Every structure is written in C-alpha cells, then in structure tokens.
Amino acid sequence: MSEKVYTKQEQVPATTEIMEVAPNILRTQLPIDMPGLGHVNMYVLEDSRGVAVVDPGLPGKATWRAINNRLAEIGVPLKRVHSIIVTHSHPDHFGGAGRLRAETGADIITHESFRMFFDPTEPDDVDVETAATPHVPFGDTPWGGPGHSLPWRRKMYYKGSSRFPTLFRAPKPTIRLAEGGRISLAGREWMAIHTPGHTEDHLCLFDPEAGVMLCGDHVLPTITPHISGMTKNADPLKGFFDSLDKVGAFGSQVKVSLPAHGMPFANLALRCDQIKEHHMGRLEKLRVVASELDKPLTVTEYSGHLFSPRAQGTMADSETYAHLEHLRIAGEFDYTVREGIREYIRAN
Ligand SMILES: [Zn+2]
Ligand SMILES: [Zn+2]
C-alpha cells in the first residue's frame, strides 16, 4: 500500500511527536478531522508556575485523551496547567478549553472581543446547551436567500456538543486581552495583537525577547485561512489585509512563527505578502469575470468561478461575498436585488 501524500502541511494527521520550537515552547499535535485539516497544534509553554497551553483542540473524548497523553509524555501533571490561550472562537481551538479549566482552574485567555459566534444569523451569547438541539434557528444569508447548509465548523460544533454534552463546555474567558496588553508566560512577557479577519476576535501573541509569534489561524504556512463575509464588520477582507500588514510590520523581529496548523516557519512578512497576493488574485478574477460576462451575477455564481466544484457551498459563498463587498466598498462594484437576492456587477 502506498502512503498518502499530503500536499499541504495543515492536512497531515496528528502524530505524537513533541518538538521544542522555541525556548520553553513545545509543539504537540491534537487530532482533528475537518476538511483540509488533519491536526491542530497545541503549544505547551513551560515556566516556573507550570504550563500554559495554546488552542487545546476540538471538544470530545479523543481530544481530552490526546491532551492528557501529550502532557504525560512531557512529564507535566494536568494540575500544573495554569493558563489556556484560545487564539479565536473556532471549535478546533477552544474545544478542550472548558473541560481543562473545569479540571485545573486554569485561566482562559482570549482577545477581549472573544465570543462564540460572529454570524449575524446567530443570536449573541448563544446558549450552548440549547444550541445543541436539532432546531437551530438559521436565517437568510446577508446576500439574500437561505444558506445551503450549516457551515461545517458549526456542524462539527453541534455534533460535538450533542454527542458529548458533559465533556463539552463553552469556554468563558477569565482574562481578556486588549490590543497591546501584556501577559507573562514561558518565563517572558508577551504582547497581545488583535488580528481580525479570519474571525473578528483573532488574537496573536508576540514575544519580542525571543522573537516568537503565536499566530493561530491568522497566518498559516501552506494554506490561506477562510475569510467569512458573515460578520458585523462591513469589510472583513480589508480588516484581514490590515491585520496581515500589522503582523508583517514586525519583520525581522520575528524569528519563528508558530501557526495553529502546520509547521513553524521563519519569514512571517513574506508569508503575509503571499496570502495578500492570493486574495488580490481572487479580486482580480472577480473583475475579469464581471467584465467578461457583463451581466449581474449572484454571489453563488461568482463563487463558482473562484472555488472548485467540491468546495462549493455556504463557506465558499461567504468568502466570495467578502471579496465582492470589498470591491463594492472600494467603488468598483455595485449590486441590485432581484427577488431578494443580491446580484453584483461592475460599477461604471
Ligand atoms: Zn479558525
Ligand atoms: Zn484552525
């Protein structure tokens, strides 16, 4: 049997390998099974108080077992976990946080804007227990018409919470960091950098002393993070570009970047530029499609030109919508509404 070849680092299934990636920082991997993702990195930051962990995986028993195994391998008793950093509000990052806090009393550290959902169709401060019932209210998309299906992240979330109601706890942050806020972990001080784009509440942490950036899903080594159009922010793509510029500006001060998926990488500023280029390419593609077809098209129709057939769906539409809105706000595109559905065309 031939071994499966993964073209992207982020797809590679979790192994039990533990690697020191910076002084007092270990990379461990937790298993996840999501489209395009095979593992999530749980970094373990050691100091005299015990350890902090970053992004402790999905909800559920498999994660819990893996967390315990990794800590045992390192030789750290569970009760030594004093802090849990959650870079953003996706279930593959916060899933293990509630249980970990319940067992250890550890602080849960997030950006100050952390909240469970950013989808305007979801009520604020949704109750996890009731959200686990099958009758989830799901309204229209901002571009008109119903969503095709629940976004996969949310599906995972509901699946996890209904299957493991006792294991699954929504994390309640105990320390909410504001932009530029400081926190002491791994024997040194980290600076909070708010990086909206992938989610509105995304947090990166920068350690200027060792030149380490914990970059969550904001900057990934070989894939580009999903940008959702379903946020309260009118132009989330602009927000993402600004956040890429913000971390890219640290330049050579950053010696190693630690992403939530994939391997550590060296040139953060270059990677930020590459990710921007990718989205610039998509914007250009939309301009070309609009000019060539020269008629109003729905978000889903544009999406068919940006994403492969197997990637089609609400997530692809949502990202396409973010790009179309970026162009509309820049004055390049316009939309009309036909039977409740937005149709975009180039502005004259
Ligand atoms: Zn994410
Ligand atoms: Zn992720």
How many angstroms separate the alpha carbon of residue 52 from the centre of ligand 2?
19
Ligand nearest to the CA of 220: 2
Ligand nearest to the CA of 118: 1
Tell me: the pLDDT tens digits for 177-194?
A: 999 999 999 999 999 999
Give dist(CA 18, CA 37) in Å, integer.
Answer: 19
How many angstroms separate the alpha carbon of residue 271 from the centre of ligand 1?
17
In CATH, what class is 282-346? mainly alpha
Mean pLDDT, the chain, integer: 88
Give dist(CA 249, CA 18) in Å, integer.
Answer: 30
Six-digit token string for 17: 């390998």
What is the CA angle 124-104-17, rounded to 5?
Answer: 95
13 in Cβ contact with 200 (< 8 Å): no
Say whether domain 9-275 belongs to CATH 3.50.50.60: no
Residue count (the chain): 348
How many angstroms separate the alpha carbon of residue 259 from the centre of ligand 2?
9
Ligand nearest to the CA of 41: 2
Q: Give the start-to-end residue ranges of the domains of the chain.
A: 9-275, 282-346
How many other C-beta atoms can be found within 10 angstroms of the C-beta atom of residue 336? 10
pLDDT of residue 296: 97
Confidence check: pLDDT of 162 > 60: no
pLDDT of residue 158: 55
Q: Is 238 helix (H, G, I), strand (E, B) or coil?
A: helix
Q: Which residues pair with 53 in a beta bridge?
A: 44, 84
pTM > 0.85: yes or no:
yes
Tell me: the pLDDT tens digits for 282-328?
A: 999 999 999 999 999 999 999 999 999 988 988 899 999 999 999 99
